[in-house]
Amino acid sequence: MAEYTITVYETGKQFPCRDDQAVLKAMIHAQGPIRHGCCGGGCGVCRMKIVKGRYEAFKPMSASHVSEADRADGIILVCCIQPRGDLVVARV
Ligand code: FES
């Protein structure tokens, strides 16, 4: 198991996230209540942009919330990804 640092682009706030943990779960743990819904890739509420870093999607993301063009632009659902290195994420 590895642990990486997630940085929120707008605030500079950082928090740890394990490589077997959803980024959304780590974000909730570190920051208290944030915008989230189903935690399962279906509602689209947790859309963010990966500004920098590697990740792996461990759950399918609803195409109605994240299109192929979105993904090419770094837009993902943070409930569906785990880090594979330090990440910088931004609100969209
Ligand atoms: S919380 Fe619903 S898609 Fe992520």
Tens-binned pLDDT, residue by residue, of the chain (92 aa):
999 999 999 999 999 999 999 999 999 998 766 777 899 999 999 999 999 999 999 999 989 999 999 999 999 999 999 999 999 999 99
Atom of ligand 1 nearest to the CA of 41: 3
Distance 74 CA to ligand 1 centre (A): 16
Q: Return the structure tokens found at 17.
A: 């996230």
Q: Report which protein residue has its CA nearest ligand 1's atom 3.
A: 41
Residue 41 domain boundaries: 3-91
What was the pLDDT predicted at 35? 77
Q: What is the CATH number of the domain that holds 55?
A: 3.10.20.30
The tokens for 9 are: 């682009």
Q: Please give the single-letter amino acid code of residue 54.
A: R
| Number of domains within the chain | 1
Torsion of CA 57, 82, 37, 15, to 10 degrees: -150
What pTM did the predictor assign? 0.93
